């Protein structure tokens, strides 16, 4: 069940924001943003932070936690490790995409040389 994406959609609609507004804040296309609301596996921590700021709420409100029950994660080693792991995964994914783009550019150049 897509609970986070659904919660974001509800909060966005309550605030009268369009998918285009959210997509602009996240520097992505509206269609990519729509997929994000439908598949919350696409929501990274950095995106979640921007979404919360755009909706003028806390991340805990998005994920359904009560703010007074949330442990201060700055002292929580597990949370820090998780965030570091998530950021590292994002960096690795971005590097993979850059490598693929570079490879495709070389292929196009070779094709155009013919």
| Residue-wise pLDDT tens digits, 47-79 | 888 999 999 988 888 886 544 444 444 445 666
In this prediction, residue 78 carries a pLDDT of 66
| Total domains present in the chain | 2
Regarding whether 93 and 109 lie in a shared domain, the answer is: yes
Regarding whether 103 and 88 lie in a shared domain, the answer is: yes
The whole-angstrom distance between residue 15's C-alpha and the CA centroid of its chain comes to 20
> Which domain range does residue 32 map to?
1-70
Q: What is the pTM of this model?
A: 0.55
The whole-angstrom distance between residue 67's C-alpha and the CA centroid of its chain comes to 21
Regarding whether 93 and 47 lie in a shared domain, the answer is: no
> Three-class SS of residue 65?
coil
Regarding whether 78 and 37 lie in a shared domain, the answer is: no
- Residue 4: band (very low, low, confident or very high) from pLDDT cuts 50, 70, 90: confident
* Cα separations in angstroms, 91 against 4, 40, 88, 97, 105: 23, 19, 5, 10, 21
- Using CA atoms, how far apart are residues 93 and 25, in angstroms rounded to an integer? 21
Q: Among residues of the chain, what percentage have pLDDT more than 70?
A: 82
Regarding whether 37 and 55 lie in a shared domain, the answer is: yes
Looking up residue 27, the CATH number of its domain turns out to be 1.10.260.40
- Using CA atoms, how far apart are residues 16 and 27, in angstroms rounded to an integer? 19
Regarding whether 13 and 61 lie in a shared domain, the answer is: yes
| Residue-wise pLDDT tens digits, 13-27 | 999 999 999 999 999
Regarding whether 79 and 64 lie in a shared domain, the answer is: no
Angle between helices 30-38 and 3-14 in degrees, nearest 10: 120
């Amino acid at each position: 069940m897509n609970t986070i994406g659904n919660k974001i959609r509800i909060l966005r609609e309550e605030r009268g924001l369009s998918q285009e507004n959210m997509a602009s804040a996240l520097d992505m296309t509206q269609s990519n943003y729509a997929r994000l609301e439908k598949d919350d596996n696409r929501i990274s921590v950095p995106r979640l932070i921007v979404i919360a700021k755009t909706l003028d709420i806390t991340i805990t409100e998005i994920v359904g936690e009560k703010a007074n029950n949330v442990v201060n994660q700055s002292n929580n080693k597990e949370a820090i490790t998780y965030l570091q792991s998530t950021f590292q995964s994002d960096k690795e994914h971005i590097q993979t995409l850059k490598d693929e783009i570079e490879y495709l550019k070389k292929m196009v150049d070779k094709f155009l040389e013919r």
